[in-house]
């Protein structure tokens, strides 16, 4: 009996020993990235975004990982609710023991996570939310931001708006942080560049709940010379359809934020407008080496073309990996120091994370929409480097609280 127990106990002891050894090695060999986003609420942008993140994870891990460790991505859906986003961030940090946080699409959720990072002293890379407050008024030492902000994208459009030399402008935007900040910047910059301009009507429907008929009629009744539009997604599609039906855009110039992004332009199909000045992503006509390599890899991985979300997701993971590599750690203080002035190669070329406000210099494409045989595309476009449309370090000091 004793001999039998020994024969059973020995393998069990060995198995227990091996198990105990294997678990810490696996844990020590993984860097956990916690990511929070509005996947169910904004699938057009965030499904390609998730693919972009996965492509970057796969490339990095296939090349040996970061500092000898593999990257692990843990995602959560915030239900487009700031309270849920903060609760999930707490769960990721305390229960999942993630090393860093990233994500957010909607600006008010990005602001909630920015505050969470400050309170909990966690490194957070805001990948997508556009409000300027993330790096300026509400900026903190724990938060960096990847995508060009509302200020940057509006500043890219202002020279084209000024060239139009129109006096009476109508404005339509979703009534939450992103739309409000975009409109405030547009008014400020256009007035400075073109004194005497008038804003004759504003329509600010709730996000996702535009009554396109009444909005279009209100704009038409004001008889503007030009329109500044900040709607996107399903709201944009309804606005364009109703505007086409009622002739709102005939003989009027339109400047439109985000409309050139394939996430929002492609679904318009044969309703895609002609001649709108937009920011966007003409993936089919960018011939830089960095973009060609990204496009080929993305198509091979997913048998699909990238959207702007794909570029943002991919660049966010590449940025985090570059920061970890430079820091030789995922320690929060070392990550903060590493991201200051960090340079990262993205599909849009090399970007830099500015020390003065933690904003990356990723730029954007500005061009015009064209209905090309029932499909919306961007033409006459050019890339504008983000560093060209950001305020100076001295100006940032006035905007951003001291860390």
Tens of pLDDT, residue by residue over 230-277, are 999 999 999 999 999 999 999 999 999 999 999 999 999 999 999 999
How is residue 352 written in tokens? Answer: 């830099």
133, 121 Cβ separation under 8 angstroms:
no
Q: What is the pLDDT of residues 116-132, one digit of tens each?
A: 999 999 999 999 999 99
Work out the percent of the chain whose per-residue pLDDT is above 70: 93
Residues 92/84, Cβ–Cβ less than 8 Å: no
Name the residue among 293, 295, 302, 297 with its Cα closest to residue 281: 295
φ and ψ at residue 354, rounded to 5 degrees: -70, 135
- Among 1.20.1740.10, 3.20.20.80, 3.40.50.2300, 3.40.50.300, name the CATH number for the domain at 31-148+287-361: 3.40.50.2300
How far, in Å, CA of 88 to CA of 96, rounded?
Answer: 10
- In 24-123, the DSSP E strands lie at 30-37, 70-77, 100-103
Tell whether the torsion through CA atoms of 82, 78, 352 and 152 is positive or negative: negative
Q: Are 368 and 275 in contact (CB under 8 A)?
A: yes
pLDDT tens track for 279-300: 999 999 999 999 999 999 999 9
Distance CA 32, CA 92 (A): 10
Phi, psi (degrees; rounded to nearest 5) at 230: -120, 5
Q: Looking at domain 151-284+366-389, which of 3.40.605.10, 3.40.50.300, 3.40.50.2300, 3.20.20.100 is its CATH number? A: 3.40.50.2300
Residue ranges covered by each domain of the chain: 31-148+287-361, 151-284+366-389
CA distance 116 to 34: 13
Q: Give 28's pLDDT tier (boundaries 50, 70, 90).
A: low
Is the pLDDT at 79 greater than 90? The verdict is yes
Q: What is the pLDDT of residue 13?
A: 39
How far is Cα 167 from Cα 200, in angstroms, rounded to an integer?
A: 9
Q: Residue 403: its pLDDT value, please?
A: 77
| Residue 54 per-residue DSSP state | H
Q: Which helix (H) or strand (E) holds 97?
A: none
Q: What is the pTM of this model?
A: 0.91
pLDDT of residue 17: 36
pLDDT in tens, 311-324: 999 999 999 999 99
- What pLDDT, on the 0 to 100 scale, is given for residue 29? 85
> Could you tell me whether strands 143-145 and 168-172 are parallel, antiparallel, or unpaired per DSSP bridges?
unpaired
Does residue 394 carry a pLDDT above 80? yes
Separation of alpha carbons 385 and 152, rounded Å: 10
Question: Does 31-148+287-361 match 151-284+366-389 in CATH topology?
Answer: yes
Quick one: tokens of 73?
A: 């991505």
């Amino acid at each position: 009996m004793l001999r039998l127990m020994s024969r059973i106990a020995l393998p069990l002891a060995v198995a227990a020993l091996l198990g105990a050894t294997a678990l810490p090695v696996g844990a020590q060999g993984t860097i956990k990235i916690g990511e929070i986003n509005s996947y169910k609420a904004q699938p057009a942008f965030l499904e390609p975004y998730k693919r972009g993140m996965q492509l970057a994870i796969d490339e990095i891990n296939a090349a040996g990982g970061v500092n000898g460790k593999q990257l692990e991505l843990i995602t959560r859906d915030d239900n487009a609710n700031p309270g849920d986003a903060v609760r999930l961030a707490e769960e990721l940090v305390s229960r999942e023991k993630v090393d860093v946080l990233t994500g957010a699409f909607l600006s008010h959720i990005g602001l909630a996570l920015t505050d969470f990072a400050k309170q909990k002293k966690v490194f957070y890379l805001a990948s997508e939310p556009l409000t300027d407050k993330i790096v300026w008024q509400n900026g903190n030492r724990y938060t960096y931001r990847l995508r060009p902000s509302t200020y940057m994208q509006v500043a890219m459009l202002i020279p084209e708006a000024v060239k139009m030399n129109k006096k009476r402008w109508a404005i339509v935007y979703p009534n939450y942080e992103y739309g409000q900040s975009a409109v405030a910047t547009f008014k400020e910059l256009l007035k400075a560049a073109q004194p005497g301009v008038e804003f004759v009507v504003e329509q600010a429907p709730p996000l996702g709940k535009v009554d396109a008929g009444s909005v279009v009629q209100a704009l038409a009744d004001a008889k503007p010379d030009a329109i500044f539009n900040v709607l996107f997604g399903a709201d944009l599609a309804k606005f364009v359809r109703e505007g086409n039906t009622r002739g709102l855009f005939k003989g009027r110039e339109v400047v439109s934020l985000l409309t050139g992004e394939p996430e929002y332009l492609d679904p318009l199909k044969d309703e895609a407008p002609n001649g709108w000045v937009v920011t966007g992503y003409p993936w089919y006509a960018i011939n830089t080496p960095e973009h060609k390599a990204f496009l080929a890899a993305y198509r091979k991985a997913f048998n699909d073309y990238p959207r702007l979300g794909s570029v943002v997701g991919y660049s966010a993971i590449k940025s985090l990996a570059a920061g970890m590599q430079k820091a030789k750690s995922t320690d929060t203080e070392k990550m903060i120091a590493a991201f200051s002035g960090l340079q990262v190669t993205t599909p849009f070329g090399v970007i830099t994370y500015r020390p003065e406000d933690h904003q990356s210099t990723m730029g954007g494409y500005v061009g015009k929409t064209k209905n090309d045989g029932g499909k919306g595309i961007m033409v006459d476009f050019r890339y504008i480097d983000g560093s060209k449309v950001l305020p100076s370090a001295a100006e940032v000091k006035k905007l951003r609280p001291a860390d």
